[in-house]
Structure 1
Amino acid sequence: MPDSRSGGGDEERVIFRQYLDAVGLHGLAGAEAAGLQSSEWYALSLITQEGSLTSGELATRTGLTTGATTRLIDRLERAGYARRTPDPTDRRRVRVEPVPDALARVEEVVGPARRRLGEVLAHYTPDQRALIFDYFTRAAPAFRAATEEIRAAAPRRRTRGTG
């Protein structure tokens, strides 16, 4: 978030906060429209980006316990979004991969955002878009690192619906 060290004033902080809130709200609405919990929506995004992940990799990336991750994978399978497949390099391991036919449903859900953001980006020059995507490239790992800091500092709480 912009702060006094980066030259960001109160107005910039408010604008940035509104942006983050809108992105978060869209993620929640997307999960709901797909019939998923937010953790399942995020896990499906990870699986789709990577092509497949082991349950351990998925647990690490989501911050869930292995038991919660197993239940999450069970729910993704029941919903028809993912499936377990044998790991081709280690038959003792199982990988979780997206079900290609089900991803059309996800595309329907994210279609309006893609269209609207495409319209927004069309107003920028190629150089400006390069700067925006440079920010995304740098900001995503910064947010992931901040997430890890939050998780490390916060006491582990067990609440319903976290996995």
Structure 2
Amino acid sequence: MERAHHGNISFLSSFCWEGCHYYAVSQCFVFGRGTWLTVLGQPNSSPSVTLSPPSPEELSNNKAILVCLISQPNDFYPSGLTVAWKADGTPVTQGVETTKPSKQSNNNNKYAASSFLSLSPDQWKSRSSYTCQVTHEGSTWKREWSLQSALRSQDPHPPNEA
């Protein structure tokens, strides 16, 4: 690794094949996270996002975990992303666990991740919709589960559509 100085800015350089992150920062003052530069080793690939509600078995065991899968059939690249959860449109942060993106073993150098929202059965029943929102490379994907759409999909006699 080499260190180069240009004026008041220091750079660390190293040999990098893909997915490297470089920071340019002032020697004396750094505000925020500095400047984020991503060197890509392949084209961006957008994720697929799937949201699954708690299973009946979980609910009978006094658990309610929603699962947001961020991967198949499209793994994503580069690895950086954010996940946000909402219940009835209100942000939820308690009970959220999101995995660190992991490189997939199928040699495509892409990533997959998951996010989980753990609730009590009473919390689960108290809201009518849940949303998993994934942001990757400036684009956002939202997947929503709602009681209304779940009931509609179980109706053996749906209304005629015009």
Instruction: Give the TM-score normalised by structure 2.
Output: 0.25
Greater CA radius of gyration, 1 or 2? 2
Larger proportion of strand: 2
**What TM-score results when the alignment is normalised by the length of structure 1?**
0.24
Which has the larger helix fraction? Answer: 1
